[in-house]
């Protein structure tokens, strides 16, 4: 029982700490970007988050501080850095493979929605503004995904999987989904899709035995949805303009969480579960 309370305490500490670090980084980024007084706090944060350059400054600070935070945690708890998923082998190739799969994943469910006449889209002519937005988007979503992956798949999944990795997988996915409660468009469908998405990312972590593959997938998921297809509330330039024909349970309306994306996640979960079991069946152990 004592160990359970210690584990819960560590989970809460990590989630709260990461959110505090993100908030502090956002404030520091705003001060650096706008050089204004703290009395204009609300406008300062809002203006910075609506600017790619301001956002990137905050994200860079966030990424550095979160990296140092978990380096400290790993040293204090005597956790091998590679055990948190930061394998040195094939890290770039794993990151690229995850990124490619993320693009394909989003493109497939968007195509399905188009065939179902749930959405329509039109190309925007590539120009310097769109190219700049695409480039800055990769940096922004790298920072966002890094913070979430090192927290949930890197640290928390390891904590929760000490006795049973499958129970740990489900618990981590649930915590990941609940951590998004403050999102303005959060709904029951969001809870389901984020939980399933968390399971998918956790399976990727287990199957590849590193954090690079799910990190690449996570970056591409956000980047493709927002900066390629123009979904969500992002006001920056994007390559395609995707229009929702009408809000339905299939496309999720403004929240972007529909049944199609949940089904697509489930298909990928089946594939990764099959790969995971197949890999384990072919393992040989020396005693």
Task: Quick: pLDDT tens for 10-54.
Answer: 999 999 999 999 988 888 877 777 765 555 556 656 666 667 788
pLDDT value, residue 47: 64
pLDDT value, residue 125: 82
Question: Does pLDDT of 88 surpass 60?
Answer: yes
Average pLDDT rounded to a whole number, residues 190-205: 93
Percentage of the residues of the chain whose pLDDT score is greater than 90: 47
Neighbour count for residue 235 (Cβ, 10 Å)? 7
pLDDT value, residue 142: 96
**pTM of this structure:** 0.89
pLDDT value, residue 286: 42
In three-state form (DSSP H/G/I as H, E/B as E, the rest C), the secondary structure along 174-225 is HHHHHCCCCCCCCCHHHHHHHHHHHHHHHHHHHHHCCCHHHHHHHHHHHHHH
Low-confidence winner among 39-48, 201-210, 214-223 (lowest mean pLDDT): 39-48
Task: Quick: pLDDT tens for 223-266.
Answer: 998 888 887 666 667 787 778 877 888 877 766 778 888 888 99
Place of tokens 């190309």: 123
pLDDT value, residue 43: 62
Q: What is the rounded CA–CA span in Å between residue 244 and residue 221? A: 19
Please answer whether residues 143 and 216 qualify as being in contact, where contact means their C-beta atoms are separated by less than 8 angstroms.
Answer: no
Residue 242 sits at φ, ψ, to 5 deg, of -100, 125
């Amino acid at each position: 029982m004592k160990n359970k309370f210690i584990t819960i305490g560590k989970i809460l500490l990590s989630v709260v700490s990461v959110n505090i670090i993100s908030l502090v980084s956002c404030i520091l980024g705003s001060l650096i970007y706008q050089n204004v007084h703290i009395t204009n706090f609300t406008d300062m944060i809002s203006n910075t988050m609506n600017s790619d350059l301001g956002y990137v400054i905050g994200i860079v600070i966030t990424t550095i501080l979160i990296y140092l935070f978990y380096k400290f945690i790993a040293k204090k708890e005597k956790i091998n850095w590679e055990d948190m998923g930061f394998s040195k082998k094939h890290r770039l190739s794993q990151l690229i493979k995850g990124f490619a799969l993320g693009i394909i994943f989003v493109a497939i469910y968007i195509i399905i929605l188009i065939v179902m006449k749930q959405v329509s889209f039109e190309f925007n002519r590539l120009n310097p503004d769109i190219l700049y937005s695409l480039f800055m988007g990769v940096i922004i979503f790298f920072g966002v995904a890094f913070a979430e992956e090192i927290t949930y798949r890197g640290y928390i999944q390891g904590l929760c999987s000490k006795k049973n990795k499958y129970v740990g997988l489900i618990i981590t996915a649930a915590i990941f989904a609940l951590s998004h409660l403050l999102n303005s468009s959060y709904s029951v469908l969001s809870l389901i899709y984020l939980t399933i998405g968390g399971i998918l990312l956790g399976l990727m972590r287990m199957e590849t035995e590193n954090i690079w593959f799910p990190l690449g997938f996570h970056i591409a998921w956000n980047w493709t949805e927002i900066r390629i297809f123009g979904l969500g509330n992002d006001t920056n330039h994007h390559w395609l303009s995707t229009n929702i024909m009408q809000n339905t349970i299939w496309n999720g309306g403004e929240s972007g969480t529909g049944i199609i994306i949940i089904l697509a996640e489930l298909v990928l979960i089946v594939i990764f579960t099959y790969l995971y079991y197949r890999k384990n069946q072919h393992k040989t152990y020396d005693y």
